[in-house]
Structures are given as structure tokens and as C-alpha cells.
Amino acid sequence: MATARFRFHGELADFLPRERRNAAFDYACARAATLKNAIEALGVPHTEAAAIRVNGASATLDRIVRDGDMIEVHPWTMQPLHGPLLFVADAHLGGLARFLRMLGYDTLHDNALADSEIRRLAWEERRIVLTRDRELLKCREILRGGYVHALKPEAQLREVAARYALAEQARPFTLCLICNIALEPIQKSMIASELPSEVAARHESFRRCAGCARIYWPGSHFERMQEALSKLV
């Protein structure tokens, strides 16, 4: 076994027992353990380690822990990502998933979604896994993921928006909040018979979901959601 000295910074301390928070401590690692093995054995998912320094030098998760190493692990402040951001939220984050869809981010969510399916989606579709299950984030199939610390959806959105800079790529109200499918513009004349009379009298711009056929328009509810999102993101 190799005994190394560890120090976890910032919010990573939340994953540790109180006696190991905000201080360096010694830990005996299994033989030939990698930094990933050791960090996760201590309770911190590999997805939460933004930067690792060993004896003052940058290191990757694959590095073998050696006796006497001084290991410092830092959390993400903002995680820059390239290309479209695709999310999958676990069963406990339905409110967050709805907020992300409001912002136009493709977010899969289903209360019946099993961990095995989440791992598959993360690997095959390169989705970012959002969860409060730290053990799920330790799975090797999950290359990109975020542990959500907050308990309420509004605070969760602030947290995720800050980590992934969501404001930069947001396309509010372009996805169906139920189906997660892109909304398509539709002429008022094609749906006139489906509209409440007061809506037909006040609005000219409409979109429809190809999945569930729901119709969306910029009414008072839309304005309230806009105002709420602007405060959160």
C-alpha cells in the first residue's frame, strides 16, 4: 500500500467526513491505485475533480499513487465545454430538467430511467449526467457529469448555469417542456379550431410540438417564465 497526503479544496470538502474537511490528511491507498481510484474511495466522484496536483505538478486521473505523494484536488468553478450541451437528469431532478428545457437545452428525464440506461446515454450520446447520486458519477461510462448540491430546482439551475455557462448558448422556449422535442412554427390558420377564443384574438405567433402536438404561444405564462429565468441565469 502507498500512503499519500490528500487535500480537497472548496466544495469538494462536502463529500468528506467532517474531520477531513479543509485540512490535509494521510490516506493509505490500495496497491497500484490510480488517482481516480483513490479520490473516489475517499468519496469524491471523478467528474468533480477539475484539477489535480501531485507534489506541485499537474496530474491526470490515471496516474498511480506513490508513497509520500502530496495530492491536492480542486473543484470546478466553470467547466468550459465545446459543442452542444446535452444533459440527462436523474429521477430526483425533474424540476431542474424542466428549467433546462425552458432554456432550450436538450435534457432527458424520466422517473423510471434506470442507472444502467443513464450510463448508456452518457457513453453513447456523450450526455452530461446531472444527479445527486455520487456513486452514479463514479461509473467509468460517465465521462462528463455534475453533482448537484442544491435541493430546490431554482438553486439547482443557478448552480448548473454557473458551472456550464448556460447563458452563452441558451435558446429559451424552443423545446417542448414535456417531450424535449424542438418546437416548430405553425401558421395560426392551421390550428385556429384548437385555440381558445381569447388566445386566437390576442396572438399571432404559435409553435407546435411534433411529439405531443401541444401548442405554445407567448402569453402571460410565457412572460412570467421569462422573468423567472432572467433572475436565475
Q: What digits encode the pLDDT tens for the residues 164-186?
A: 999 888 888 999 999 999 999 99
At 135 the three-state DSSP class reads: helix
pLDDT (tens digit per residue) in 75-98: 998 987 878 899 999 999 999 999
Q: Which CATH architecture has domain 2-74?
A: Roll (3.10)
Q: Which CATH architecture has domain 78-172?
A: 3-Layer(aba) Sandwich (3.40)
CA 143 from chain centre, in angstroms, equals: 12
* 155-160 average pLDDT score: 94
Q: What is the CB neighbour count within 10 angstroms for residue 228?
A: 14
Q: How high is the pLDDT of residue 134?
A: 96
Listed in sequence order, the residues at least 6 apart from 211 whose beta carbon sits closer than 8 Å to its beta carbon are 176, 178, 179, 181
CA–CA distance, 157 with 153 (Å, rounded to integer): 6
Say yes or no: do domains 2-74 and 78-172 share a fold.
Answer: no
pLDDT (tens digit per residue) in 201-210: 989 999 999 9
Q: Which of 107, 111, 135, 132 is nearest to 121 (CA)?
A: 107
| Residue ranges of domains in the chain | 2-74, 78-172, 174-217
Q: How high is the pLDDT of residue 16?
A: 97
CA–CA distance, 153 with 169 (Å, rounded to integer): 20
At 146 the three-state DSSP class reads: strand
CA–CA distance, 28 with 67 (Å, rounded to integer): 9
Confidence (pTM): 0.89
Listed in sequence order, the residues at least 6 apart from 112 whose beta carbon sits closer than 8 Å to its beta carbon are 91
